[in-house]
Each structure stands twice: as C-alpha cells, then as structure tokens.
C-alpha cells in the first residue's frame, strides 16, 4: 500500500482544455464525426507554467523524489539521474517491481547530462528548483518541464504536482489518502506514539553527523505516525549537524540511524564503535536500530514513506513480542 500527511486534497492551478476535431464527408449531408484531440493541461509550478499535451509516455526524472512519485503513479521513467555515491538507482526502484536496467542513466543529481536527456526524446521532465533551477531553461528547451518548489517535507504536494503533470491527479490523491490511514494505523501499534521521542541520525562523510528535524521528509512521516521528537530535532530545518564528539545528542526513546554511501558507512562504523555512541542510553538499552538509507532518506515520496511505515510496523511487532 502507498500513502500522506493530511488526506486533504491539495491542488495546483491546472487548466484543462478539451479540443475537438472533426472530419466530414464530401457530400453536404455527411455528418462530421467529432473526435477528441489530446488534452492540453497548463500546469503551474515553481518556475512558471508549462503546457502538457496528452499523457506523457517518455518521462525523465532528475531527483529521487520525482523518481519515487513517478513509479508510485505507475510510470516507469525512460531516464533518471543517479546519486553522487552510486551508479545504481535506489533500492526502492526494485522494491516497486521495476527493473532498474529499464531506466537510462542521465548523469547525477548534481550534474545532469543534458545531451543524454535530449537523446531520450522525453515528452516530460520532472525535477525541482532546489536542485536544478540553474538549468531549467535548458531543460525546458528539450521537453515540457515541471519543477517542484521544495524537496523533503513537501513530498506530498510534490506528488500531487507530478500527478497533474502526468495526467494522474486522482491517482496521486488516492495514494495520499491511503497513506494517511496507514500512518495512523502504524501509530496505533505504539499505543500513544506522542509519548515516544524518535531520534534520527545519518552518517555521511565522517566530519559531521546529521540529526534530522521536523522539516525533513523523514520528520514528516514520523509526525504523521504521531511520534514526538527530541528537543534538538524539534526544528523546521531539514537537519542539524553535530560533531562526532556531540553524538550523544542523538539520544531518544527510539534511535534510528543510517549511512549514506561508502564514506557514510565508514563514518558510521568508526563512530558507533566508539565509547560516546555506546554511552547513549538508547544504544546501551537496545533501542537503537540501523535502517536502510535508501528507504528512509532517498525515496522522498509515497514509495519511501510506505517502506518507512513497513519498518516501523515490523519494529512495533518486535517490541510487543
């Protein structure tokens, strides 16, 4: 099941014009049979407005949130960027039943390959202004391009925008409605989730440890489930950074931690083997859980959110056993 935060329909400004075309016989009495032409939609987005004709079939996505949204809506992109730490697509792609080999490589999120994108002859490009505002005009010269304004916490609004662009607005809303119900159900497994402070730590390069705030994708999912957050993570910022010497600030009633890429894994191994990490009460008392970075941090959409809920449901069963 796939799922959102309020169940409230959020719509962008989408204008739909049905264009009819007819063909008549040569005789005056012949009736012209009107047939609908492809629908044209004008989608308002972060960089202005974009006209989209018909139902896009060759979609290119340039960030993991857009990849997640497209797959959740039943669209396999013809091309997608990779992260800067892996040539492979995130694990949620295969978890969605899609062969990653079917999605062409169009560079990295930080450096999309415009020539590779153009070669795929896309009829829609999806991304966001946070990552790619500087190349928007070049992308728009290749194909109709729709940009979300923000990433992370805004994943539900971004899904609805992608749904509009893809001609699947109703499907997008249905996903969010399902998510809302599922998040509440998972929260109920923890009794009173508001009495449980959940901490989120992520290791990247060994210099700093990120503690994720309420203003992040994972923070929004935890809020939908109903969990409380440790004081240092009660912020609308995506994350706060602490040094390895300050890692004890990661404590909570539950502590989930992950590592991004090989450097992150090396940093995690070093920090979690140290005495400061082992002194954290959640760690010492067996309330710290290592989670998959792809599932918790790269999805940024309904697929990622659903996988997080799966993990939380499984943990609730273990705690009850």
Distance CA 180, CA 274 (A): 39
| Count of beta carbons in the 10 Å neighbourhood of residue 9 | 12
Distance CA 168, CA 55 (A): 9
**Gyration radius from the chain CA atoms:** 22
**Tokens 């091309």, residue located:** 79
Question: What are the residues whose beta carbons fall under 8 Å from the beta carbon of 272, sequence distance 6 or more?
Answer: 257, 278, 283
Identify the DSSP state of 96: T
**pLDDT tens, 257-303?**
999 999 999 999 999 999 999 999 999 999 999 999 999 999 999 99
Question: How big is the chain, counted in residues?
Answer: 321
**pLDDT tens, 50-77?**
999 999 999 999 999 999 999 999 999 9
pTM assigned to the model: 0.85
Question: What are the residues whose beta carbons fall under 8 Å from the beta carbon of 172, sequence distance 6 or more?
Answer: 69, 73, 159, 160, 162, 163, 164
Exposed, middle or buried by CB within 10 Å (0-12, 13-18, 19+), for 17?
Answer: exposed
Using the Cα atoms of residue 71, residue 75, residue 78 and residue 81 in order, give the sign of their dihedral. Answer: negative
Least confident of 9-23, 38-52, 66-80, 237-251: 9-23
pLDDT at 319 (0 to 100): 85
- Please report the domains of the chain, with CATH numbers, ordered by start residue: 14-181 (3.40.50.1980), 187-320 (3.40.50.1980)
pLDDT at 280 (0 to 100): 98
């Amino acid at each position: 099941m796939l799922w959102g935060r309020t169940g409230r329909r959020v719509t962008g400004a989408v204008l739909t014009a049905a264009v009819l075309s007819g063909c008549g016989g040569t005789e005056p009495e012949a009736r012209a049979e009107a047939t609908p032409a492809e629908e044209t939609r004008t989608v308002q987005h972060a960089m202005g407005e974009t006209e989209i004709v018909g139902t896009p079939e060759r979609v290119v996505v340039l960030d993991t949130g857009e990849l997640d949204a497209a797959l959740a809506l039943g669209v396999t992109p013809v091309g997608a960027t990779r992260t800067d730490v892996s040539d492979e697509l995130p694990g949620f792609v295969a978890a969605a039943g899609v062969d990653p080999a079917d999605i062409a490589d169009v560079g990295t999120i930080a450096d999309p390959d415009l020539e590779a994108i153009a070669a795929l002859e896309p009829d829609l490009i999806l991304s966001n202004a946070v990552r790619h505002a500087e190349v928007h005009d070049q992308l728009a010269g290749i194909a109709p391009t729709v940009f979300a304004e923000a990433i992370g916490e805004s994943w539900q609004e971004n899904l609805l925008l992608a749904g509009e662009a893809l001609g699947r607005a109703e499907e997008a809303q249905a996903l969010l409605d399902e998510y809302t119900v599922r998040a509440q159900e998972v929260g109920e497994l923890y009794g009173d989730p508001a009495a449980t402070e959940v901490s989120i730590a992520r290791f990247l390069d060994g210099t700093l440890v990120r503690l994720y705030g309420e203003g992040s994708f994972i923070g929004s999912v935890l809020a939908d489930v109903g969990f409380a957050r440790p004081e240092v993570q009660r912020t609308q910022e995506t994350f706060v950074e602490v040094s390895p010497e300050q890692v004890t600030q990661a404590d909570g009633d539950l502590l989930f931690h992950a590592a991004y890429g090989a450097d992150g894994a090396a940093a995690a191994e070093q920090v979690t083997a140290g005495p400061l990490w082992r002194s954290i009460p959640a760690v010492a008392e067996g309330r710290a859980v290592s989670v998959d970075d792809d599932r918790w941090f790269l999805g940024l959409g309904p697929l990622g959110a659903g996988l997080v809920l799966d993990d939380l449901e499984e943990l609730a069963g273990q705690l009850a056993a």
